[in-house]
Structure 1
Amino acid sequence: MIEKLVEIIVKRLKLRAANKTVIAVSKMPRDPVAIFMENGTVRLTQVNKHFLERILGGNRAESLTIWLETAAEYGVTIELELYDNGEPWLDYKMLSQLVYPVFTSAGERLFHPSSEVICYSDSALIPSGSTLCKFKKQLITPLANEYLTKNNIAVRERQ
């Protein structure tokens, strides 16, 4: 009897881990437990600068913080999708402060290393097909540049 119950629970957890849902920021439910019970990944779309600032503000009494903490309690992976490609409003420093992966509306994952010199170890953490966002003052070592080119990682540069 117990083996059967464990088998059902494991099957349910595997199914949940594979499920992914998309929710617009403007339509986030107040009580997300039903969504978290069914999905292992939740992508929040139409994210703007104000929303990112709210996440980074971390006001513990705010409903968004409670929502994100509940997701963590349920082991749900949160992804953020910008309403556009993030230019020019996206503050690259925010990318390095966020604990959630950030994507453009076209599906590119954005990264911003905070170091002044981007070396191979920084670039090796970026998955193929993603985008590295950097400031002009940040330098890229030759080895890191080779890795970025080889792995089809685009580079955005801004003042």
Structure 2
Amino acid sequence: MIEKLVKIIVQRLKLRAANKTSIAVSKMPRDPVAIFMESGTVRLTQVNKHFLERILSGNRAESLSIWFEKAAEYGVDIELELYDHGEPWLNYEILSQLDFPVFTSTGERLFYSSGRVICYGDSALIPSGSTLCKYKKQLITPLANEYLSKNNIAVRERQ
């Protein structure tokens, strides 16, 4: 009897871990428990500058804080998807301050290195197929550049 119960629980946990749900920021439910019970990953879509600023501000809206705390309690991974490519409104430095992975609406994962020089160690942390966002003033070492091109990591640059 107990073995059957354990088997069912393990099966449900595996299904939950594989399940991914997308929710528009404007339609985030007040009580996300039902979503967290069914999904191991929740992607918040249509994220804009205002929402990112709310996440980073020390005094977030209470409902937003509760939402993220419940996600942590349930072991849910939160992902943020920008409503567009994040140009030109996205301040790249925000990417390194967020605790959540950030994606464009086309699925590119965005990374930012805050150093003046982007070296191999910085680039080696970026998964293949992602995008490195940098400012013109930042330099990339030849070894890092080789790693980026070899691993199909796009580089997005702006002033």
- Assess same fold via TM > 0.5: yes
C-alpha contact 1:60 1:66 (8 A) present in aligned 2? no
CA contact (8 A) 2:54 2:61 kept: no
Name the counterpart of 1:28: 28
Please report the TM-score for the alignment, with normalisation by the length of structure 1: 0.97
Q: CA RMSD in A?
A: 1.0
| Alignment of structure 1 residues 73-152 onto 2, 5 Å | 73-152=73-152
User: C-alpha offsets along residues 59-98 of structure 1, whole Å, 9 cap, x if unaligned?
Assistant: 2662111101110110000000000000000010100000
TM-score (norm 2): 0.97
| Preserved CA contact (<8 Å) 1:46 1:83 | yes
Equivalent residues, number:
159
Identity of aligned residues (%): 86
1:59 aligns with 2:94: no
* In structure 1, C-alpha distance between the alignment counterparts of 2:5 and 2:144, rounded to whole Å: 50
Aligned partner of residue 127 in structure 1, secondary structure: coil
Runs of 4+, deviation exceeding 2 Å: 58-61
C-alpha separation in 2, matches of 1:73 and 1:120: 35
Q: Give 3-state SS (helix, strand or coil) of 1:129's partner.
A: coil
Structure 1 residues 60 and 45: CA distance shift in structure 2, 3 A: closer
Distance 1:70 1:158 in 2: 37
The answer to whether the 8 Å contact 2:54/2:60 transfers is no
Kept in 2, the 8 Å contact 1:111–1:131? The answer is yes
CA distance in 2, matches of 1:112, 1:62: 29
Report the counterpart of residue 71 of structure 1 in structure 2: 71
In 2, Cα distance between equivalents of 1:61 and 1:94 = 19
**SS of the counterpart of 1:30?**
coil
Unaligned 5+ segments in structure 2 are none
* Whole-Å separation in 2 of the counterparts to 1:61 and 1:152: 39
Residue 58 of structure 1: how far off its partner (Å): 3.5
1-side partners of 2:84 and 2:158: how far apart? 17
CA deviation string 1:120-146 (max 9, x = no partner) = 111111111111001111111110000
Amino acid aligned to 2:158: R
Q: Does 1:45 align with 2:45?
A: yes
